[in-house]
Amino acid sequence: AMKGLMRWAQDMYVAEDDLWKIWNFLGESYKLNRAYTNALAKGLIKKNQIPSQIELYQEAARIVRNTVPNYAYVSNFVQGMRRSPLGNFVSFPAEIIRTSANIVEEGLKQTKNPIFARNGYERLFGAALAWATIPPMLYAGAKGLYGITEDKVQAMRELVAPWSVDSTLLPYRNEDGTYGYVDFSHGFFYDTVTNPVQAVINGVNANKDQPLVTGLAHGMV
């Protein structure tokens, strides 16, 4: 019975993963069709230059493979890391790094093509919004909601668990006047990409009485 339960849980996990791939595939297919329709209307291409629907589906599938985490693309090195004492949750961060680089590369490539320029700018804007806007926006909102100053947040960082020191913390105040926090980084998909930047910022803030390069070096390490 336990084996059956574990098998069902694994199947549900795979199905949930596939759901996002299907959703992105439909979105990419729509945007490719939109791009060629608009290009035809603007006179950039002729009707006989529009690829077949199956070719557009194949291109959409290629983009999804390169921009959505897919454990089938995890390298042998990372698979070996999963079996090491260093930890077994390394495939997802590895895929986030791979797909993040591919998102930027795909976006830049599309912006240089008049037919796909809109798709490329939308992709780059979406990536920038997810990586650089969402965490600071939530952080500033939480501070403002509870009236918590930056100095108090830095004081909290001195007491949090070591693995949360460089995370994006969402502070809050309890009814009895005590403080708490939510470690947003552990629920944010792209923290693997943004956390190094946060670590540098925290390193500089934590070493205000020392030369700037000291805090910068500490954060980079």
Write out the chain's pLDDT in tens, 221 residues.
899 999 999 888 888 889 999 999 999 999 999 999 999 999 999 999 999 999 999 999 999 999 999 888 888 888 888 788 876 678 888 999 999 999 999 999 999 999 999 999 999 999 999 888 888 899 999 999 999 998 888 888 888 888 888 888 999 999 898 899 999 988 888 888 888 877 777 777 766 666 767 766 766 67
Tell me the pTM.
0.80
Amino acid at 207: N
* Tokens encoding 86: 């260093």
Q: What is the pLDDT of residue 207?
A: 66
Q: What angle do CA 201, 205, 208 make, to 5 degrees?
A: 140
